[in-house]
Amino acid sequence: MSLTFTNIVCGYGDTLVVRGVSGQVQAGRALAIVGRNGVGKSTLLKGLAGLLPLAQGQLIWGGRDITGSALHTRVAQGMAYTPQDNVVFAELSVAENLWLHLNDRDADRYTELFEQFPLLARRQSQRSGSLSGGERKLLAFTRTLGLRPKLALLDEPTEGVQPENIDRMAHLIRQRKRTGVSFIIVEQNLEFVSAFADDVIVLDHGEQVLQGALADLGRERIERHLVV
């Protein structure tokens, strides 16, 4: 299944942050959305996920127009979104965070993920609010993959995560891609992105200033839009 988004315009109240961005993700491909802080990357992802209403634009998923559909219906359609902040239910334990939204207790969901991230397996009864920021991001990432989505929308999944675990996250994403799962990832960490992204969109002030295949654009050119 592929996701196509055309001319996305969205924002908060009367402030428009994203001003006309288009793109596409095919099955088994990964799209990275990069840019400096404040350019509208998170806002774009929220618009794609259905968290923010679109002032303009269209969203087609697997041939169906899902432009106005509510956020909570998207999971059943195969889309899984992870926000940038408040990524876990802080009051609940790690285990509860991993299971409360699921209707079955199929342990297989997390076996491989626990192997990659043993710290989560060890701390299942710990209150997730007492995990560090990076550990919470790891928990959120694990939970999202555990949903077995067809398309995962991740907002800065590596923020605060330890380098070894970042490597493992990239490894898992590559693996899932081979089984046909697509990814749209907002990130500031280019090193991480280069490990698996096929296509890139660079945003600046809410607009698309650069897009294309990562291989064609090259890291140098992209970095120029990002770094200090």
CA distance 184 to 32: 6
- Rounded Cα distance between 66 and 58, Å, is 8
Q: Is 125 in the site for other proteins (CB under 8 A)?
A: no
Binding mask 24-43 for other proteins (x = CB under 8 A): ------------xxx-----
- Asked if residue 107 binds other proteins (CB under 8 A), the reply is no
Q: Least distance in Å: CB of 211 to other proteins?
A: 19
Binding region for other proteins (CB under 8 A) out of 24-32, 55-63, 116-124, 191-199? 191-199
DSSP 71: G
Identity of the residue, 75 or 213, whose beta carbon is nearer to other proteins in the bound complex: 75
User: Using CB under 8 A, which of 5, 99, 117, 183 touches other proteins?
Assistant: 99
Nearer to other proteins, 106 or 115 (CB): 106
In angstroms, the CA 182 to CA 144 distance is: 13
- Contact yes or no for 49/79 (Cβ under 8 A): yes
Rounded to whole angstroms, how far apart are CA atoms 107 and 155?
26
Give 156 or 199: the residue with its C-beta nearer to other proteins. Answer: 156
The answer to whether 52 contacts other proteins (rule: CB under 8 A) is no
What tokens does 69 get?
A: 């559909």
Task: Enumerate the β-bridge partners of residue 18.
Answer: 10
Among 7, 75, 180, 221, binds other proteins (CB under 8 A): 75
Which element (helix H / strand E) includes 146?
helix 133-146
Q: Is the dihedral of CA 114, 115, 119, 125 positive or negative?
A: positive
What is the per-residue DSSP string for 26-81? Answer: -TT-EEEEE-STTSSHHHHHHHHHTSS--SEEEEEETTEE-TT--GGGTTTTTEEE
CB of 15 to other proteins, least distance (A): 5
Does 228 bind other proteins (CB under 8 A)? Our answer is yes
Question: Which residues bind to other proteins, rule: CB under 8 A?
Answer: 14-15, 17, 36-38, 49, 51, 70-76, 80-84, 86-92, 96, 99-101, 127, 129-133, 143, 147, 156, 159-160, 163, 188-193, 205, 223, 226-228
